[in-house]
Amino acid sequence: MDIRSDARQSPVAETNGRPTARQRTQGMMDDSAEITYPYLTFKTPLPTPNVPSDATVETLQPPDLSKYTNPITWPDSRKYLMLALSCVATFLTGYTSGSYSPPQSLMREDLGASSNIAVLTGITSFCAGFGFAPMFLAPFSEMNGRYPVFVVAGIMYVVFQAVCGVVRTLAGMIIARLFVGIGASVFSTMVGGVIADMWEKEGRNTPMALFSGSVLIGTGAGPLFGAIITQRLGHTGTGNGAAWKWVFWHQVITSAVCIVILVFFFKESRGSVLLSRKARALNKWYEQREEQGYYGVWIDEEQSSDMSELSTAEPSSDEEKGTMRQPGPTASLRRIRWIVKEDEERSSLVKMITISVCRPFHLLFTESIVFFFSLWVSFAWGVLYLTFGSIPMVFRRQYGWDLGRGGLVFIALIVGAAIGTGLCIWQERILHHPRWAVPTASSGVPSSSTLVAPTDEPLPDGEKSQAPPSRSERIWSFIRRRFPADSPESRIYFTCVVSILLPIGLFIFGLTARPHIHWIVPSIGIALATLGILSIYLAIFNYFADSYHQFASSALAAQSLCRNLVGGAFPLVTGPLIENLGETRMTVLLGCIAIGLSVVPWVLVFYGDRIRARSPFASQLGRQ
């Protein structure tokens, strides 16, 4: 019998196929009894199977369901192992994007390119694959889970990294980099989904901060080690024996090791996929029991009228291991087959890909929040990719440093990303300060209604005057009233301040990169700018997730596409900008643009409620 077709009519099929009183008494049933199709959730208590008196122990052993537990309830050790694997893979993808730039001059000679700009189109093609691929790969991860998409994309990433090490033409390099970007995109854009699978909203900031930090740390480490390898090995050998190709070969080795570890230790984390597998395992077991003549499970009568109520109870650890709940005195015998609601609501693959491709553009051009946030993070990402060429070039022009020494300046970018990660974790703790939280009767935090001003009127006998609110209480009351900690805009309070470090860092870098000023000063500017970029990057992930919920993946796909396309374009204009404008005017121009875009989060802090109320997507979520 087709489960899907029956389930469309009702979560549970009609109960006219209930066993008779004699069957309930004797525990007897055959294949003529109708099958009901209840929804299975992680909270569904599993009913006890019918156990005839002549059954053997081996026949009635339930399947091992421990593989299908809710990722939210996984132990922290397992969650952080998954997070560590995801962050390492993300680090390597960021490393790949930045390590391509240092050997550009040697690639131009060896591949017969006309200019360095032609070689840098390899970064552009990488970013194009990085931006477009998630729109097509995301539906596959929804249907088949994270694990197969991660493994297949990881293999593609490793293989085409190796292709980059053997190609002999610029066209081959550009195409190979496109497929490297497609494979690498999974480890950046879908890691946020893995984190959402394992953590509730309240505990998601720290994992997201570690993930975001690994992106920028990898982006800084790539040109650092790429420059060292190019400087020390790059001028020896030609063709396939050119030593500069170790820029790619060492990544092939490290990423291959990472993918092998991922294959064995990464576990499926998408809840709906795990539920579907759990339902299939249970249904297969029921079918095997029926083939041996053992029909039905025991369902309590009070739950039989609507078996969807089975989802209201928390599962016990025994149920997750496959142990069934004992039947009550009012239990009746039923034949069931579990189904998963997400499977019922899921569209065809073609429709899912169409929505995945079209909806991000729809949100980008109809949602002001998505448009301006995408513009903001795209510019910040473009500045990050601008450093691939600008840092070595500026330090060569101003300080006379060679490529290897100039690459060491990227340590400032790594340090800025590491400090930014720590600040992002710390700011979430400040946001959850008990005096900033919404006052409740049990919190011990005074609300604004309890802060009574002093009065000169006499009080009745026996009553004491209430103490006036202290200055700190008035400040916290103002903060709670004007900057509520439970609104989506709370995700960007600190970004409003920290993002100012992006233009400040650009000004310091451009105005202090002079031969008579110590090199540490422009390096500090690079670190500060990186702090600002990281805060913007993390804030957008968190804000979109809180504001758009089930539409968040489309909103994030829109900003990811814009971010990567702009990031891929900026390295092509780095050289012309510096040569035509000079370091100072270029960075002042970029800093002024960054100041203008820094208004975006402030507008949302003060008018976010009104803007979201006018959004058809956000208002739909509010009605729900």
pLDDT digits (tens, 9 = 90+) for 135-194: 888 777 777 888 999 999 999 999 999 999 999 899 999 999 999 999 999 888 788 888
At residue 66 the predicted structure's pLDDT band, cuts being 50, 70 and 90, is confident
Rounded CA separation 33/36 (Å) = 10
pLDDT of residue 360: 85
Q: Are 206 and 148 in contact (CB under 8 A)?
A: no
What's the pTM? 0.83
pLDDT of residue 23: 47
Q: Is 350 exposed, middle or buried, given 0-12, 13-18 or 19+ CB atoms closer than 10 A?
A: exposed
pLDDT of residue 237: 55
Q: Are 97 and 161 in contact (CB under 8 A)?
A: no
Q: Is the pLDDT of residue 22 over 70?
A: no
Summarize the chain as % helix, strand, coil (round to 5). 70, 5, 25
Q: Is the pLDDT of residue 217 over 90?
A: yes
User: What does the CA dihedral 85, 42, 193, 436 come to, rounded to 10 degrees?
Assistant: -100
Hey, is 548 helix, strand or coil?
A: helix
Using N-to-C axis directions, what is the helix angle for 520-548 and 410-431, rounded to 10°? 40
Q: Are 575 and 523 in contact (CB under 8 A)?
A: no
Sequence-separated (6 or more) residues with CB below 8 Å from residue 450: none
Q: ∠609-615-620 over CA atoms, to 5°?
A: 95
Q: Which residue has the higher pLDDT, 367 or 252?
A: 252
- CA-atom Rg of the chain in angstroms: 30
Sequence-separated (6 or more) residues with CB below 8 Å from residue 484: 438, 490
Q: Is the pLDDT of residue 442 over 60?
A: no
The mean pLDDT value for 209-215 works out to 92
Q: Is the pLDDT of residue 521 over 60?
A: yes
pLDDT of residue 60: 61
At residue 315 the predicted structure's pLDDT band, cuts being 50, 70 and 90, is very low
Average pLDDT, the chain: 81
Rounded CA separation 526/515 (Å) = 17
Q: Is the pLDDT of residue 309 over 60?
A: no
The mean pLDDT value for 596-614 works out to 85
pLDDT of residue 28: 63
Integer CA distances (angstroms), 231 to 258, 335, 402, 408, in order = 27, 71, 8, 12
Taking only the tens place, the pLDDT of each residue in 345-367 is: 676 777 777 877 888 888 888 88
Cα dihedral sign for 99, 104, 110, 113?
positive
The mean pLDDT value for 460-468 works out to 56
At residue 341 the predicted structure's pLDDT band, cuts being 50, 70 and 90, is confident
